[in-house]
Structure 1
Amino acid sequence: MKIRRVLKLIVGSILKSVNIVGALLDSLASRVVRGKGPSVYIIGAPRSGTTLTFQVLSQASDLAYPDNLMSRFPQALCIGVGLSRAVRAMRAGPVYESNHGRVRGFSGHSEFGAFWYQWFPRGGVIVNDMEWGMNKTKMGRKIRLWKALEGRGIICKNVYNSLRIRQIVAADSEARFVVVRRGEADNIRSIVAGRMRMNGRYDAWRSVMPPQMRNLKIGDPAREVAAQVGFLYDEIYSQLKAAGCRWVSVSYEELCLEPRVVIKKVSDSLDVPFGTLNPGEGEDGIPGGFSLSRKKLSVEWEGKIADACDWWAKGSAYRLLERGPSPGGEEGSRHG
């Protein structure tokens, strides 16, 4: 264990040094190199099917995507993209598996979190547009450099980008969005199960927090998740409307049943060329369908999820929001 820890520290130190040097190269290159092409951003609630959508659409298009190797060099695209392209060329074939957004292997799809954290605060906090002006310029240059290094457009997925739409559009004039939705009960069930699996508690907050919930204490975990999902989509559609950009909404269930129908819908709506759309599984590596993940919880929790869906549908969360901040403030809504 000690040897592994030491090796990890050594590798971390090397990567940090490489990123520092690479950042200087990127800074110089981004001022003169300006790549072009569409930028497709996949957003939506956690556990809504965004990772599978990311995998399918990147496989069906000629758009470049960030992988796990590239994610090691978030500040040094000149280095990360080159290494990534070399490894991707040796990839055996497409992979349609993930574990809470994580895909195994160097060429596995990455949320590229460290890349976005160069310009955005952690936790999905919505930033002030006026204060963000300098970051807008830097981020725009970096994205154009990414496209230039790849020689094509890009596609990426990060659920926290659901709260960054206005800023992304301001920095990237070619931004288009794919909003992924899943059946409400299935989405709530998956997040609730993920809380226990990853945190060991049903009442422990996980993933992106909509701004409406930062000072809101609900108490019941299932209802809290229902509000998380509902308020997040409220924020997504509000920001998309304000940004005035191209976007399309797709269903996780339809993607599983008829992936090529969804691919064509995205292609037509966003005006982004994709690969072959012939029916059946062929050389494009896209199956004719995927199995729907619908694991049931205990009878007690299934009852709580049904109650949470009904509670949200009746607008109870909005009435709770109108009462103002709850005692305990933001920390009161996090549950640890």
Structure 2
Amino acid sequence: MDEMYDNSKRTSFFKKDVSLETALSDLNELIDGIECPIDTNESQSPIILIMGCPRSGSTLLLQWLAASGLFSYPSNLIARFYKNPYLGIRTQQALLEFDPLNQLGFKETKLDFSSSLGKTYGALGPSEYWYYWRTFFKFENDSQILSQNQLAKVDGKKFIDQLLAFEQLTNKPLALKGMLLNWHIPYLYSLNQKFIFINVNRDPLLNAQSLLMAREKFFGDRNKWYSFKPSEYKELKDESPITQVVGQVIYTRKAVSEGLSQIPMENIINIEYTDFCSNPKKFLDALVYKFNKLGGNIESKNVDQDLLKPFDERKDIKLSDSEVKFLREELIRLSNN
């Protein structure tokens, strides 16, 4: 079993609750296949997909897009209805959004920017939504790479059609993470030519260090692989933890870059995490321009001005001098392979 999915290998905070998992499985088996009134012929806005390495700033970016008020997004509540987004959205509206007297006691809280390895807090916190993606894309243990035969078996139309519920029920275009398919960007584009792929990149040294720290936080062990596995995983699996995380960053970035090179530039936004943190408004302006050029209709004038202020980017080095030296050497070596 892949260590990421072996509950016994996780630290206590990240262990899955068996009772919750059973309840969610039962619930989603019941709602799977329920026909919902999604109009697949209705004009659709572009859908925002965040791509890139794990620990590159994707969670903050999704939280920021959610807080802007311009986009719908899969919340932690909606994500629990992963086999039927329509019912998840309607449930959230009935319990939270359309309860002005707060009869149920579920007060809406303002979104914040806290998270723990991609996990946000509160019913309205943005979810990575991987359970939904994994309903359609069946990955095997060693990587997130699917063969053409495997992709041919995916019900791509249903995958897209169910996402249409977000815009149709909220009147806001959808933004979500798509990093599980970093290695299949042209395939995603073939399903929907209105995807906007936001490729977020972080300083490779800081990205690799963060992946190493994530291993300690998630497993309590640097030797266990955390998050997505590139196609080069078999070459990396017997290397040192530092070499592994460096390779994870370099090969993932390479795969995303190669995938994006096969689709039109009008569907792509490349953003450095440090640039986003220092000037969110510049990023927003670029996003609004590309979004509307692809047939969307959003305006940035009503976005909370506090969201346009710079973020503090954490750049602290937590590794020893010798570890940093080795990490830098591996970045050079593997970049030149």
Query: Where on the TM-score scale, by shorter chain, does this alignment land: which range?
Result: 0.7 to 0.9
SS of residue paired to 1:311: helix
Residue in 2 that maps onto 1:56: 64
Which ranges in structure 2 are unaligned for 5 or more consecutive residues?
1-16, 98-106
Distance 1:148 1:116 in 2: 20
Report deviation, 1:91.
Answer: 2.4
The residue type paired with residue 192 of structure 1 is: L
Equivalent of residue 197 in structure 2, options 153, 177, 181: 177
> Cα deviation per residue 1:67-104 (whole Å; 9 max; x = unaligned)?
00001001122210112234553523221111110101
Residues 227 and 58 (structure 1 numbering): CA distance in 2 closer, same or farther, change over 3 Å?
same
Distance 2:233 2:18 in 1: 37
Equivalent of residue 253 in structure 2, options 233, 257, 273: 233
Equivalent of residue 300 in structure 2, options 260, 272, 276: 276
SS of residue paired to 2:271: strand
Residue in 1 that maps onto 2:33: 24
> Cα deviation per residue 1:227-281 (whole Å; 9 max; x = unaligned)?
1101001100111122446111111112222211222122224445555358xxx
SS of residue paired to 2:72: coil
Q: How does 1:22-101 map to 2 (within 5 A)?
A: 22-26=31-35, 29-30=37-38, 34=42, 36-86=44-94, 89=97, 90-101=107-118
Residues 238 and 120 (structure 1 numbering): CA distance in 2 closer, same or farther, change over 3 Å?
same
> Cα deviation per residue 1:124-166 (whole Å; 9 max; x = unaligned)?
5222234423521221222234432333320001432322323
The 8 Å contact of residues 197 and 269 in structure 2, kept in 1 or not, is answered as: yes
The 8 Å contact of residues 279 and 308 in structure 2, kept in 1 or not, is answered as: no
Q: How does 1:1-336 map to 2 (within 5 A)?
A: 14-26=23-35, 29-30=37-38, 34=42, 36-86=44-94, 89=97, 90-122=107-139, 125-133=144-152, 134-217=154-237, 219-244=239-264, 246-271=267-292, 274-276=298-300, 283=304, 285-286=306-307, 288-299=309-320, 302-315=321-334, 318=337
Distance 1:116 1:131 in 2: 14
The 8 Å contact of residues 55 and 109 in structure 1, kept in 2 or not, is answered as: yes
Distance 2:37 2:146 in 1: 27
SS of residue paired to 1:185: helix
Distance 2:75 2:128 in 1: 8
The 8 Å contact of residues 56 and 202 in structure 2, kept in 1 or not, is answered as: yes
The residue type paired with residue 24 of structure 1 is: G
Distance 2:325 2:297 in 1: 40
Moved more, 165-174 or 181-190: 165-174
SS of residue paired to 2:225: coil
Residue in 2 that maps onto 1:328: none
Moved more, 28-37 or 264-273: 28-37
The residue type paired with residue 248 of structure 2 is: Q
Distance 2:290 2:300 in 1: 17
Q: Give the TM-score of the pair, scaled to structure 2.
A: 0.80
Report deviation, 1:211.
Answer: 0.9
Report deviation, 1:219.
Answer: 1.5
Which ranges in structure 1 are unaligned for 5 or more consecutive residues?
1-7, 319-336
The 8 Å contact of residues 84 and 162 in structure 2, kept in 1 or not, is answered as: no
Distance 1:25 1:266 in 2: 35
Distance 1:53 1:287 in 2: 12
Distance 2:207 2:18 in 1: 38
Moved more, 65-74 or 33-42: 33-42
Report deviation, 1:179.
Answer: 0.7
Distance 2:297 2:44 in 1: 14
Distance 2:137 2:300 in 1: 36
Report deviation, 1:174.
Answer: 1.6
Residue in 1 that maps onto 2:5: none
> Cα deviation per residue 1:209-234 (whole Å; 9 max; x = unaligned)?
11122344451211221111010011
The 8 Å contact of residues 63 and 125 in structure 2, kept in 1 or not, is answered as: no
Distance 2:22 2:329 in 1: 51
Report deviation, 1:113.
Answer: 0.8
The 8 Å contact of residues 180 and 252 in structure 1, kept in 2 or not, is answered as: yes
Distance 1:258 1:238 in 2: 27
Distance 1:291 1:237 in 2: 27
SS of residue paired to 2:32: helix
Residue in 2 that maps onto 1:321: none
